[in-house]
Structure 1
Amino acid sequence: SRLEDQASALATEARNYQASSQEIPHTLWAKLILEWLSKMDCIKRGWVLVGFPVSREQAIVLQEMGVAPDHVVILDAPDTVLIERNLGKRIDPFTEEVYHITFNWPEDPDKQGILREPEGLTEKATVTRLLEYRRESHGVQSSYKKICKVINADQPTVDVLSQVMTFVHSRHRSVAPYAPHILLYGPPGCGKNLQAAMIAEKYKIVDVSSGHLLKQATAAQTKIGEAVQSYVEQGQPVPDSMVLRCLEERLSKLDCITRGWVLHGFPRDIEQATLLEEKGFLMNRVFFMDVPDDAIIERLTLRTTDPVTGERYHSVYKPAPNSEVQARCQQNPKDSLEHVENELKVYHDHVTELGKFYQAVIHINADQDPHTVFEFIESSVLNPPVKRKAS
């Protein structure tokens, strides 16, 4: 129902998949969810996400998008109970209200007469779905093992709710020994977004992406968001002052103050770094993610996207499955060789002076497996924080 109510390009694309009886790609679902969670009501009030992810692959896609829940609740019950509950469902075709022949049967005979079985509801279909769930559920649980709780749903609803609320209102003990203020800096394509999401998930700190904040401001149609949109539409860089305003507002929120944060996308030069420090936002961890230029060029310029499915491919690491898909794949203009080389030049123009500015920089070889990179970052995060030398 949420999908039907949306008017965005992503929602339209998803509805087109549904209309043609095709499965919506994981990446498109994740983008849709990120779009929904970027709305001001979700930002201010929080959110409850149901139905996604249902597999480890989907959980990883969400994490790569920077979506990290505070709590994950898995409701479980014996298979026989779940099958009985599912087969007993009945639906009011006019209101779409759900009833059950055993647990929630209406007293009104007229209401009883109009209730219908959900389409495709058979014992075989239920068992098939249940087997698929059992295969995938462990992957979801392992993806969120530090913040996950399995609750027995084979008990009165009020008791289930009580246990869920007790868990949701609990605060996870942070495994970080201090409030981290982490900066990830590196060339385009070095893996900053993924590492930031993994750090935020592990240490329950806030993932702060300057690009994501600008998108949130635009989606919320705030004054600064409208100003940002005008620059984006004209293909011009957003002024530092606007980016800094968004960052200052986000980093001043209670969750950032109490839990800490990992920042990426800003600063990109010494002027931006100076502005950030003048606002009082000091780093106690600065990681420079080093990747050779030829590796960056290989990572980015060989990426393509299938416009039909939304799936992303890489001619070396994840080739298209066949020549037909390969022929229709398209390259993002930002992944063109010319654009990537320009971005690398900007990076090299500023990396040395930024290193001198932050002094106690931790260099990481980011040209290796993401989990190996994360393990190195993790070992450095657990050490006592560094102190800046007096200028």
Structure 2
Amino acid sequence: MKNERKREEKRREEREKRENQRQRDREEIDTETQIQKDLIMLQELLIHQPKEPIQFMLEHLERDNDMVPRIFILGPPASGKTTIAMWLCKHLNASLITLENLIWNKLSGLAIKALKIYEKEEAIPDFLLLKLLLERMSKEECISKGWILDGIPETREQALMIQTSGISPRHVVVLTAPDTVLIERNLGKRVDPSNGEVYHTTFDWPSEPEVQNRLKVPLGISEEETVKRLMMYHRNIIRILPSYPKILKVISSDQPCVDVFYQALTYVQSQHRSNAPFTPKILLCGPTGSGKSLQAALLAQKYGIINVCCGQLLKECVASNSSIGELIRPYFQKKMSVPDQIIMKVLSSRLKKQDCICYGWVLHGFPQDLDQATLLSSEGFVPNRVFFLNVPYDSVIERLTLRRTDPTTGERYHLMYKPPPTMEIQERLMQHPGDREEKVKIKIDFFYRNSSLLEDFFDNVIYVNGDQDPYTVFEYIESGIIMPLPTKVSQ
């Protein structure tokens, strides 16, 4: 009986602990949400600068639409941006805004004026386009449900004009694909004149013969016309992107449409790092070939934090011919390990810079053993998130030993995942000496000899299965960043 009572008491204590943890989690989420809303209100005040700030804030609170979608979808012709925008609208219950539905509004005098210009195949003036956007976004459906803007802005001038008018997206998705793929897609387009449905001769051909027979080739999709539009797009997009440095995600559309959609959906449902209640100090650990560099780059792009690669820092020091670079050079020339104290001096100098202090950092390539971890901590650089990427031995060997480089073009290939397109290229490919199996095995063995001591040294470790699609791995890492601090958690 006593043992049973003890077990019951222990189970009750565990239930109470779980409930308390859930309550703390809810409170933290509520706090973070409120911080985000306060920051959004501050942003609106700075943009609009109302004469009556108190009244403006009261109206803003009454609308209660801080978290509704406000998304730009950009991309070249035939990248699929309209399809992705439509799917996002259906999923998020937001309003779709395109140039076409802006001008085909018979109830708007501005739209009628714009339609006359459009029918003459002339460009709609930017000032008129802005008025149409402001008119549409003032509608109740856009205010309460949010909006997704498809294909606008097309130029930097439009982007700046839209910004100064107070229209500010929370997420910008840019689709990209090779021009050859886009031209092929465009050439295969066919339109059903009875309902406007779009088909493709390769990817989406209707099964009904009746529908097949009535399909028409749309105007403006010839190879020559498509190339002109692509050249115009490429000239403009590089000037547009700097307008959205912290809210931008580039997604390859040269993959199944469903995959593109889910990547876009994951991004637009996320909150930006600038709204987070703490500054990320992230450490990525894992054997060579586990994907640390890629994940660090994705984190830096998504959250605007600084990507700190220890190996790259040392190379930059040597290339700069600085005094510390001259100390490192002999070790590089003799292919010897650089002493920990020198590495720490270089690393400390980088992590103390203002951008790392303000925005946070993601570090990889250091520490590799307990002594280095102790040295990092003694300098005051304590990560608040530590991820260990676990990848099976055979997978690492496969990832690295099959890598090749074309010495003529510098293009990188992988004999399994990205094989060379021709036999001529394959015959001249070269393997980096460090990718030979015996060298890779030494690096893997070195990591696993020290990994258990590193895991014990850090308190806030999260284990991630790195033998998955890179974006799946990224989502697991991201969940570990935005959730409360874990303790020895596995993903």
- TM-score class normalised by the smaller sequence: 0.5 to 0.7
Residue 381 (structure 2) aligns with: 281
CA distance in 1 between partners of 2:294 and 2:242 (Å): 14
Distance 1:144 1:368, change over 3 A: farther
Aligned to 1:299: 399
The Cα of 1:335 is off from its aligned counterpart by 0.3
Q: How does 1:1-391 map to 2 (within 5 A)?
A: 75-76=155-156, 128-134=227-233, 147=246, 174-385=274-485
> Taking structure 1 as reference, are residues 148 and 271 closer, same or farther at Cα in structure 2, changes over 3 Å only?
closer
- Aligned-residue Cα RMSD (Å) equals 3.2
Q: Which of the pair is proportionally richer in helix?
A: 2
Distance of 1:327 and 1:144 partners within structure 2: 44
- Give yes or no for contact 1:176–1:203 (8 Å, CA) kept in 2: no
Deviation per CA, 1:239-269: give whole Å up to 9, x if none.
1111100111111111111211110000000
In the TM superposition, residue 129 of structure 1 has moved relative to its aligned partner by: 4.8
User: Paired residues, what number?
Assistant: 251
Instruction: For residue 237 of structure 1, report the CA deviation from its aligned partner.
Output: 1.1
Query: Letter of the aligned partner of 1:147 in structure 2?
Result: K
Q: Tell me by how many angstroms 1:221 deviates.
A: 1.1
1:132 corresponds to which letter in structure 2?
M
CA separation of 1:238/1:228 partners in 2, compared to 1, >3 Å: closer, same or farther? same
What is the distance in 2 between the residues matched to 1:137 and 1:346?
Answer: 48
Larger Rg: 2
Contact 2:402 2:414 in 1 (8 A): yes
> 1:12: which partner in 2?
none
Q: Residue 312 of structure 1 aligns to which amino acid in structure 2?
A: R
- 1:145: Cα distance to partner? 5.5
Task: Specify the code of the residue in structure 2 equivalent to 1:320.
Answer: P
Distance 1:253 1:323, change over 3 A: same
Task: Report the Cα distance in structure 2 between the residues aligned to 1:345 and 1:131, rounded to whole angstroms.
Answer: 49
Give the match's secondary structure for 2:413. strand
Q: 1:313-360 CA deviation, whole Å, 9 max, x = no partner?
A: 111101111111111100000000000000011011001111111133
Q: Is the 1:186–1:288 Cα contact (8 Å) retained in structure 2? A: yes
State how far apart, in whole Å, the 1-side matches of 2:423 and 2:291 are: 29
Whether the 8 Å CA contact 2:286–2:388 is kept in 1: the answer is yes
Secondary structure of the structure 1 residue equivalent to 2:289: coil
- State the TM-score, normalizing by the size of structure 1: 0.58
Cα–Cα, structure 1 residues 285 and 143, in superposed 2: closer, same or farther, change >3 Å? farther
What one-letter code is carried by the residue in structure 2 that aligns with 1:372?
T
1:45 aligns with none
Equivalent-residue separation in structure 1 for 2:359 and 2:487 (angstroms): 19
Deviation at 1:132, TM superposition (A): 2.9
Distance 1:247 1:283, change over 3 A: same
Read off the aligned partner of 1:338 and give its amino acid letter.
Answer: E
1:258 to 1:147, Cα distance in 2 relative to 1, 3 A: closer
Give 2:458's aligned amino acid: Y
Q: Is the 8 A contact 1:206 1:262 kept in 2?
A: yes
Distance across 2 between alignment mates of 1:305 and 1:332: 8
Task: In structure 1, give the amino acid aligned to 2:477.
Answer: I
Indicate if the aligned counterparts of 2:154 and 2:237 stay in contact, CA closer than 8 A: no
Counterpart of 2:386, as a letter, is V
Partner of 1:325, secondary structure, is helix
* CA drift at 1:147: 3.0
Identity %: 45
Unaligned runs of 5+ in 1: 1-53, 56-72, 79-124, 150-171
Does the aligned pair in 2 maintain the 1:141–1:148 contact within 8 Å?
no
Shift of 1:74: 8.4
DSSP 3-state at the match of 2:387? strand
> How far, CA to CA, are the matches of 1:175 and 1:343 in structure 2?
39
The residue aligned with 1:117 is none
**Displacement of 1:384 after TM fit?**
2.6
1:14 aligns with none
Q: Which secondary structure does the structure 2 equivalent of 1:281 belong to?
A: coil
Shift of 1:77: 5.7
SS of the aligned residue for 2:420 comes to coil
Structure 1 match to 2:93: none
**Amino acid across the alignment from 1:329:** L
Unaligned runs of 5+ in 2: 1-74, 77-152, 159-223, 249-271
Quickly say closer, same or farther: Cα 1:366–1:129, change in 2 above 3 A. same
* Contact 2:156/2:236 (8 A) holds in 1: no
Shift of 1:226: 1.1
Distance 1:287 1:144, change over 3 A: farther
Q: CA, structure 1 residues 173+380, in 2 after alignment: closer, same or farther (shift >3 Å)?
A: closer
Change (3 A) 1:127 1:386: closer
Contact 2:403 2:413 in 1 (8 A): yes
Q: In 2, are the aligned partners of 1:303 and 1:313 still within 8 Å (CA)?
A: yes
CA distance in 1, matches of 2:453, 2:338: 22
Q: Quote the Cα distance in structure 2 between the aligned partners of 1:202 and 1:238.
A: 32
Counterpart amino acid of residue 355 in structure 2: D
| Structure 2 equivalent of residue 26 of structure 1 | none
The structure, 1 or 2, with the larger RCO (C-alpha pairs under 8 Å, 6+ apart) is: 1
- 8 Å contact from structure 1 (residues 284, 386) kept in 2: no
Partner of 1:169: none
Deviations 1:140-159 (A, max 9, x none): 9789966369xxxxxxxxxx
TM (norm. structure 2) is: 0.47
Return the alpha-carbon distance in structure 2 between the equivalents of residues 76 and 143 of structure 1.
9
- Over 3 Å counting, the alpha-carbon distance change for 1:358 and 1:317 in structure 2 is same
Q: State the secondary structure of the residue aligned to 1:208.
A: strand
Offset, 1:296: 0.2
Q: Which amino acid aligns with 1:233?
A: Q
CA distance in 1, matches of 2:236, 2:352: 37
